[in-house]
Amino acid sequence: MMGSLQILFVLLFSLVLIKCYSQEDFLECLSKYSKSNVEQNVYTPTSPTYSSILEYAQKNPRWVNSSHPNFIASPRKESDIKPIILCAKKLGLQIKIKSGGHDYEGISYRSKSPFVMLDLSNLNKIEINWKKETVWVQTGATLGQLYYAIANKSDVHGFPGGVCFSIGTGGIISGGGIGTMMRKFGVAADNVVDARVMDVNGKILDKKKMKEDLFWAIRGGGGASFGVILAWKLKLVRVPEKVTVFNVYKKLEGNQNLLQKWENIAHQLTDKLLIRVIIQNDGTGKDKYIEVIFQALFLGPVDELIPLLKEKFPEFDLEKKDCFQEPVVDCSNRPCIKKECRETTWIGSVLFFYGRRTNESLEVLLDKSIPTQKNYNKGTSDFVKTPIPESGWKMVQRLFLEEERPQMILEPLGGKLDEISKSEISFPHRKGNLYNIQYLVNWGDNSENVSSQKLAWMRKLYKDMEPYVANSPRTAYLNYRDLDFGSNDEGYSYSKAKIWGEKYFNGNFKRLAKVKSKVDPNNFFRNEQSIPPYQSH
């Protein structure tokens, strides 16, 4: 017994020595390769600011107690990243890239191997060329920072990015970028005109220097498989001075016909109008019911919108006066609010979709505070090619009534998305899809008992939805990443990765793997669902 304890002590002591030695090695290596003291912005678990940087990174704090980075590197200049890559390669450390986004499965800040979290949040410069209507944005900038920079100077420009403005531009754009203006202008990645990427050797490549295939791959294929995306050059879009937003609240029970009508026509409406659907629980106890919110952005004034709605969706009962007055609250007949509407600016619509008032200060777009109340969640996704029958919606209603905080968000495609080929960029979800579904379940107590119950509920919902959604393959959106689809094993096998890779990328997966073979043949940039190099056998 005594001998076993001594062996254990020696092993533990050795591990401590190895850890200290590797820390010194890494920092020493950085000082050798760097001319600008990059090691000053590298933090270890004993550094005072390590915990706060990590906590801010963990937008979904489900993995607070799982493996933490051996180092957090928060470079201040793009050139500072080269020594981090070279030293990580030299010492066998993995690099996980964090641009500031939600990262549903937390793969940018946890790993089974020793790793460096490359935190890009200090790289947030934004330079707008109003004459050419383009913007260079470093990938550590959030969507909120980008939207703020645009709206602070112009009422007639916007960018078709995502709804949640707290996410990083690096992640959302490299994964595609579904948003409220996609039916008019395509997804965010459709509006990328150039990029700066640091490759596995520390070279900075722009569109001219990178192979055409790499520029294709990073627009929808997820950038972290190929290198470090440093900055995007984006095409700004022209938006009207006045746009209109509204929410119409209904109960799911008794309104399945309206939901099915939406399924049939939302993707065919004018591309100036996006009506998405949010399905969630409301009320408690005996009053609990399933709420359906029809939430819309119309790129034009109220006067243009109302006649269109009277023709297509008279059930919404929306009138011009609703857009210039506070909504009526009456809880004697649920839902308490039936409708709310605002004529506003494009940036007002951004605030509205994020649950803010349309006239709120734009400074809210720059908020980077860490939420005091923790929200744990699990998400996944589907694409739908044929309308879901009533039996499907009854199943959803039954399962939703069993759960406390579930949500489904349905976003219609069509419009501009139908006009762009599935292989134009690596984001493939185009013509033939009616809408996309994001599933979420949220909880506030992350004990093993509660979280396993929530995960089991989500997996049951996903399984029960199978007959109603796209199949062969069943498809999904990369930015709502789900490790339940499978993850890379130690061998990073192409044939195993195909199982989840074809869900995200359909027929584009093989081409993505071939790009990977060219730009990173030794698979340095890797994670649980990174694209492995192509193998023909």
The tens place of each residue's pLDDT in the chain, 537 residues long, gives 434 444 333 334 334 434 444 677 999 999 998 888 888 999 999 999 999 888 888 877 887 767 889 999 999 999 999 999 999 999 999 999 998 667 899 898 888 889 999 999 999 999 999 999 999 999 999 999 999 999 999 999 999 999 998 899 999 999 999 999 999 999 999 999 999 999 999 999 999 999 789 999 999 999 999 999 999 999 999 999 999 999 999 999 999 999 999 999 999 999 999 999 999 998 777 789 999 999 999 999 999 999 999 999 999 999 999 999 999 999 888 898 999 999 999 999 999 999 999 999 999 999 888 778 888 999 999 999 999 999 999 999 999 999 999 999 999 999 999 999 999 999 999 999 999 999 999 999 989 999 999 999 999 999 999 999 999 999 999 999 999 999 998 889 999 999 999 999 999 999 999 999 999 999 999 999 999 999 876
- Count Cβ neighbours within 10 Å for each residue of 237-266 and write b for 16 or more, e otherwise: bebbebbbbbbbbbebeebbebbbebbebb
pLDDT of residue 11: 35
d(CA 534, CA 516): 7
pLDDT of residue 22: 65
Residue type, 129: N
d(CA 136, CA 193): 10
Please say whether the structural domain 23-119 has been given the CATH code 3.40.50.970.
no
Closest CA to 294 of 392, 415, 410, 177: 410
Token pair, residue 183, equals 């039916």
Closest CA to 161 of 134, 180, 141: 180
pLDDT of residue 101: 66
pLDDT of residue 61: 81
pLDDT of residue 537: 61
Q: What backbone phi and psi angles, to 5 degrees, belong to 296?
A: -135, 155
Question: Chain centroid to CA 252: how far?
Answer: 27
* Residues carrying CATH 3.30.43.10, the chain: 23-119
Report whether 500 contacts 193 (CB < 8 A).
no
- The residue with tokens 């890379």 is 488
The residues near 200 (Cβ < 8 Å, ≥ 6 apart) are: 85, 89, 227, 519, 520, 522, 524, 525
Cβ-defined contacts of 40-46 (< 8 Å, 24+): 41/73, 41/74, 41/75, 41/76, 41/80, 41/122, 42/71, 42/72, 42/73, 42/74, 42/84, 43/71, 43/72, 43/73, 43/74, 44/70, 44/71, 45/70
Q: Which residues are identified as catalytic?
A: 480
Query: Residue length, the chain?
Result: 537
- Cis peptide, bond prior to residue 533, ω within 30 of zero: no
Report whether 160 contacts 186 (CB < 8 A).
yes
Report whether 193 contacts 233 (CB < 8 A).
yes
Taking each helix axis from N to C end, the angle separating 494-505 and 509-519, rounded to the nearest 10 degrees, works out to 120
* Residues carrying CATH 3.30.465.10, the chain: 126-238
d(CA 151, CA 294): 26
Which CATH class name applies to 126-238? alpha beta
Which numeric CATH code is attached to 243-344+375-465? 3.40.462.20
* Residues carrying CATH 3.40.462.20, the chain: 243-344+375-465
Closest CA to 283 of 404, 421, 368: 404
pLDDT of residue 9: 39
pLDDT of residue 65: 67
Residue type, 206: D
**Residue 211 half-sphere exposure, CB side, CA atoms within 13 Å?**
13
Token pair, residue 76, equals 């201040």
111, exposed or middle or buried, with CB in 10 Å at 0-12, 13-18, 19+?
A: buried
